[in-house]
Amino acid sequence: MNTNNSRSQLLLNEKEQHVPRGLINAHPVALEKASGAELWDVDGNRYLDFVGGIGVLNIGHNHPNVTNAVIEQLAKVSHPCAQVTVYEPYIDVAQKLNQLVGKGEHYKTVLLSSGAEAVENAVKIARGYTNRPAVISFKGGFHGRTLLGSTLTGMSSPYKQNFGPMAGEIYHATYPNEFRNITVEDALASIEDIFACEVTPDRVAAIIVESVQGDGGFLAAPDSFLKALRELTARHGIVLIMDEIQAGFGRTGKMFGYEHSGIQPDLVTTAKSLAGGFPLSAVVGKAEIMDGPLPGGLGGTYGGNAIACAAASAVIDLYMKDDSLLSLARQRGHFFAEGLRVLKNRFSNIADVRGLGFMLAAEIVSENDIADENARLTQALIDECRNQGLLVIKCGTQRNVIRFLPPVNIPETLLTEALGMFDKACQKVFA
């Protein structure tokens, strides 16, 4: 897929001229249109999209239910602002999210614009409710690019750079990683070490954790770990925040990733696939905790935008009417994972295939498993995948993990095609 002397290259040149270098592109592709799991660039090249806006399009590009809901809402009102008036689309989404998360308990929801904004507000809510300052997050975790989000994030490059000083009273514990021999016991011991050496538990407002670390390498939290966190936080009066921004909305085969463990969190952050491509996020939590901040303490000009709410309501309805999308996530995920494991057996550089449901990844290692070499090899494979017509991106603290995020309802024929493209890319890069 050569972009030299093409419309794509012209647009890429314009982007370099007018947009700061801090905003990079994973692929030098200038998009023109999309449908389901397929993209076409301005030069007519077709790609299979296994990035999905980085986990935003679990039901694919331009789903008709979402498109129709947006058109209908646009004809009524686009943005009354939730801090000015009450409007039905906002309340509708809040009610549905409370039902999905609360499961009969009294939960409340505040709607925002981005995942980072949801995380920031979840921390505010936890601090407002407990009147405590400290928050514990995890090494390898990702919680956004705002100052607090970057501080909570457990990776240095590129998220922290020279952006400090970072926000105060944030502590990072160890996260389990079976591939790197980090056990649940190691992770829990690191929390106890924080309590003993850095901050006492009665000063900790919240522990925030991803049910599956996204940017950290698609590492699913073991059920025993989440159950232990639930017990620990309840014992110390600490708010347990589950960050479901990437793992939520059916990606793992359940509506939210934490449901695999059977725990009930205090607060849940969600965004990305919540609104099928429209900017909307939410904090959903126990009513008593959500009411911790005083009136005026929560809000945001665009939070709960009426058009985004209409899109989200259509997305939620697709999941609530039956569990076919969740079943497809499990079925398609199993199909694709089996295909990846076949390739793992053929190529020694594919060191691990892992994930939950259809939140799948392959860890790529060089002959000597050296971090810089791993990262270079992985980038070469990503570039060759694009040449074959498959768009994927990397993750992991070493940037040596390829993640796969196609729509959960993608046809098996396209999964087979994608596996063939990935196979050809591996042959060229690993030869």
Dump pLDDT digits (tens) for 115-145.
999 999 999 999 999 999 999 999 999 999 9
In a domain, 2, yes or no: no
Q: Which of these three, 259, 286, 321, is where a domain ends?
A: 321
The arithmetic mean of pLDDT across residues 156-185, rounded, is 93
- In sequence order, the 6+-apart residues with CB closer than 8 A to the CB of 370 are none
Asked if residue 371 has pLDDT above 70, the reply is: yes
The arithmetic mean of pLDDT across residues 89-103, rounded, is 98
Asked if residue 196 has pLDDT above 70, the reply is: yes
Write the DSSP string, 59-72.
Answer: T-BT-HHHHHHHHH
pLDDT class for 55, splitting at 50, 70, 90?
very high
How many Cβ atoms sit within 10 Å of the Cβ of residue 4?
A: 6
Pairing of strands 134-138, 204-210: parallel
pLDDT class for 4, splitting at 50, 70, 90?
low
Buried-state track 24-42, b at ≥16 Cβ within 10 A, e below 16: eeebebbeeebebbbbebb
Asked if residue 158 has pLDDT above 90, the reply is: no
Spell out the SS3 assignment of 131-181: CCCEEEEECCCCCCCCHHHHHHCCCCCCCCCCCCCCCCCEEEECCCEHHHC
In a domain, 1, yes or no: no
pLDDT class for 431, splitting at 50, 70, 90?
confident
Task: State whether 212 and 262 are in the same domain.
Answer: yes
Q: Looking at residue 175, which CATH number applies to its domain?
A: 3.40.640.10
Q: Looking at residue 380, which CATH number applies to its domain?
A: 3.90.1150.10
Task: State whether 160 and 59 are in the same domain.
Answer: no
Q: Are 286 and 107 in contact (CB under 8 A)?
A: yes
| pLDDT tens, position by position, 221-277 | 999 999 999 999 999 999 999 999 999 999 999 999 999 999 999 999 999 999 999
How many Cβ atoms sit within 10 Å of the Cβ of residue 275?
A: 30
Asked if residue 1 has pLDDT above 60, the reply is: no
Task: State whether 358 and 368 are in the same domain.
Answer: yes
pLDDT class for 162, splitting at 50, 70, 90?
confident
Asked if residue 157 has pLDDT above 90, the reply is: no
Q: Which of these three, 267, 293, 321, is where a domain ends?
A: 321
Alpha-carbon dihedral sign for residues 115, 117, 120, 122: negative
Give percent of the chain above pLDDT 90: 94
How many independent structural domains does the chain possess? 2
What are the two backbone dihedrals, phi and then psi, of residue 283, each rounded to the nearest 5 degrees? -115, 125
More confident residue, 54 or 4: 54
Task: State whether 335 and 409 are in the same domain.
Answer: yes
| Burial label, 318 (beta-carbon count in 10 A; 0-12, 13-18, 19+) | buried
The arithmetic mean of pLDDT across residues 369-386, rounded, is 97
397 token code pair: 């603290």
In a domain, 130, yes or no: yes
Task: State whether 283 and 165 are in the same domain.
Answer: yes
What are the two backbone dihedrals, phi and then psi, of residue 239, each rounded to the nearest 5 degrees? -75, 130
Task: State whether 52 and 129 are in the same domain.
Answer: no
Average pLDDT over the chain reads: 96
pLDDT of residue 3: 47
The arithmetic mean of pLDDT across residues 37-57, rounded, is 97
In 211-364, beta strands by DSSP E: 212-213, 219-220, 239-243, 267-270, 281-286, 350-356, 359-364
Task: State whether 174 and 56 are in the same domain.
Answer: no
96 token code pair: 């549905």
In a domain, 220, yes or no: yes
Q: Are 255 and 360 in contact (CB under 8 A)?
A: no
Task: State whether 113 and 211 are in the same domain.
Answer: yes
179 token code pair: 């591939």
Residue from 34, 63, 39 nearest 391 by CA? 39
In a domain, 292, yes or no: yes
Task: State whether 110 and 250 are in the same domain.
Answer: yes
Q: Would you give the end-to-end CA distance of the chain in angstroms?
A: 21
Task: State whether 82 and 218 are in the same domain.
Answer: yes
Alpha helices by DSSP H, 220-270: 223-236
Q: Which of these three, 266, 286, 321, is where a domain ends?
A: 321
- The residue type found at 175 is Y
Question: The domain containing residue 148 runs over which residues?
Answer: 65-321
The arithmetic mean of pLDDT across residues 9-25, rounded, is 93
Pairing of strands 46-49, 390-391: parallel
The arithmetic mean of pLDDT across residues 387-414, rounded, is 97
pLDDT of residue 323: 81
Helix (H/G/I), strand (E/B), else coil: 29:
coil
| pLDDT tens, position by position, 276-335 | 999 999 999 999 999 999 999 999 999 999 999 999 999 999 999 878 999 999 999 999
Task: State whether 125 and 246 are in the same domain.
Answer: yes
Task: State whether 208 and 228 are in the same domain.
Answer: yes
